[in-house]
Amino acid sequence: MAELFYDADADLSIIQGRKVAVIGYGSQGHAHALSLRDSGVDVRVGLHEGSKSKAKAEEQGLRVVTPAEAAAEADVIMILIPDPIQAQVYEESIKDNLKDGDALFFAHGFNVRFGFIKPPANVDVALVAPKGPGHLVRRQYEEGRGVPAIAAVEQDATGNAFALALSYAKAIGGTRAGVIKTTFTEETETDLFGEQAVLCGGASALVKAGFETLVEAGYQPEIAYFECLHELKLIVDLMYEGGLEKMRWSVSETAEWGDYITGPRIITDATKAEMKKVLTDIQDGTFAKNWMDEYHGGLKKYNEYKTQDEQHLLETTGKELRKLMSWVNDEEA
C-alpha cells in the first residue's frame, strides 16, 4: 500500500525557514508561488527576459527577478517551466548558483529521470507534484482545502530532503488532501505511460476510430460526434466520481451488457501487448530521446500531426456543433 502523509506529518516551519525560488509562472508556477507566500514563505519568482507572465506575477504582489538571480538568492529552487526547456535553463541560470545544501525541486521527474539534468551531489533533489492543474491547486488552497500530491526524493544530500518536500507540499495545500510517497522513476514513467496509452493517446485514438467507423458506414458526422466524443464526458464524470461501478449503475442495462462483451473486442490482448512495448520505450529512454530530438529539431512532425488532426472531420464537425451548446465554454466560438 502507498504511504500517505497529511498535515500532521509535515512541519511547515522548515520551508518557512528557507528562501524559495519558483522558476516559471504558468499553470503550476503561479499556484505554488502564491500559496507559498500565503503560507508565510519567503518566495521570489524567476522569469526570463521578455516574459509574458511577469506583469501578472508582479500585479499579484510577487517579486520577479531573472532565473539566475532567483537561484542565487534562494536555497530551495522549484523548476516550473515547460519540461523540454528545463535542461537549458538549468545549464544557463541555475547550475552555477547552487550551493552546498540547497534543494532543487521539480513537479515532474522527466529531466532528472532521463539524465537531461544532472544535479551535483551536494544538493537535495526532490519532487512535489500536485495531481491536478495549477488553477485547481490554487483555488483549493484558497478554499482551505488541497489537491492530493505526490512527493519523492532522488538525492538526499542533507538527510532532510523528504521532510523539506513534505513541508513544501504543506505550504501549497497538498498535505490537507494527502501526499503519496513515490520515486522519480515511478512518477515519470507512469505519468508518460498514462498520458500516452490511456488519457491522451488512447482516448483520442479510440474516439477517432469510433467516429470514422460510423461515418464510413454512412451515418451523419453530427450524430457520430455526439455518440463518440460528446457523451464521453458524461461517462468519464461518472467514473471519476465512483469508478466503473458508478458508471455501470448509471447507464442502461443494455449499455452495461455491451460494455462487458464489446470492450474486450476493442482493447484486445494485442492492444495490451502494444501497451507493454510503449512502456518499454518509456522505461529505456527511447521515448524521451525521440521527443527531445523532435522538440529541439523544430517540432516538424509534431506540427504535421497537429494540423492533420485539426482538419479531421471529427474536429470540424465538433466546432460547428458546439455552437449549439451555449453551456460549453468554447473559446474558438
Q: Which residues bind ligand NDP (CB under 6 A)?
A: 23-29, 47-48, 51-53, 67, 80-83, 85, 89, 107-108, 129-130, 133-134
How distant, in Å, are the alpha carbons of 28, 156, 157, 188, 206 from that of 79?
10, 18, 18, 15, 34
Nearest residue to ligand NDP, by Cβ distance, number only: 26
First to last CA, the chain: 46
Q: Which three cell numbers stand for residue 11?
A: 512541519
Q: Which three cell numbers stand for residue 125?
A: 533533489
Residues 104 and 126: their CA atoms lie apart, in Å, by 6
210 is in an annotated binding site: no
252 is in an annotated binding site: yes
Residues 165 and 152: their CA atoms lie apart, in Å, by 8
Q: What are phi and psi of 41, to 5 degrees?
A: -100, 145
Question: Which is closer to ligand NDP, CB of 133 or CB of 258?
Answer: 133
Residues 83 and 93: their CA atoms lie apart, in Å, by 15
Question: Which is closer to ligand NDP, CB of 167 or CB of 188?
Answer: 188
Question: Which is closer to ligand NDP, CB of 52 or CB of 265?
Answer: 52
Q: At its nearest, how many Å lie between ligand NDP and the CB of residue 270?
A: 31
Residues 259 and 300: their CA atoms lie apart, in Å, by 39
Q: At its nearest, how many Å lie between ligand NDP and the CB of residue 47?
A: 5
294 is in an annotated binding site: no
26 is in an annotated binding site: yes
Alpha-carbon torsion 282, 285, 288, 290, what sign? negative
Q: What are the residues binding Mg ion (CB under 5 A)? A: 191, 195
134 contact, one of Mg ion, ligand NDP, none, CB 5-8 Å limit per kind:
ligand NDP
At which residue does the C-alpha cell 458546439 appear?
Answer: 322
134 is in an annotated binding site: yes
315 is in an annotated binding site: no
Coil vs helix vs strand at 127: strand
Question: Which is closer to ligand NDP, CB of 26 or CB of 40?
Answer: 26
25 is in an annotated binding site: yes
Q: At its nearest, how many Å lie between Mg ion and the CB of residue 27?
A: 12
Q: Which residues of 113-150 are buried (b: 16+ CB within 10 A; e: fewer)?
A: bbebbebeeebbbbbbbbebebeebbebbeeeebbbbb
The identity of residue 271, as a single letter, is T
Question: Which is closer to ligand NDP, CB of 219 or CB of 240?
Answer: 240
Give the contacts of 305 (CB within 8 A, at least 6 positions apart): none
The identity of residue 215, as a single letter, is V
Q: At its nearest, how many Å lie between ligand NDP and the CB of residue 161?
A: 18
Q: At its nearest, how many Å lie between ligand NDP and the CB of residue 2?
A: 18
Question: Which is closer to ligand NDP, CB of 113 or CB of 248?
Answer: 113
67 contact, one of ligand NDP, Mg ion, none, CB 5-8 Å limit per kind:
ligand NDP
Q: What is the DSSP string of 274-311?
A: HHHHHHHHHHTTHHHHHHHHHHHTTSHHHHHHHHHHHT
Active site residues per annotation: 108
Q: At its nearest, how many Å lie between Mg ion and the CB of residue 96?
A: 29
The annotation places the binding site for Mg(2+) at 191, 195, 227, 231
The annotation places the binding site at 25-28, 51, 53, 134, 191, 195, 227, 231, 252
The annotation places the binding site for substrate at 252
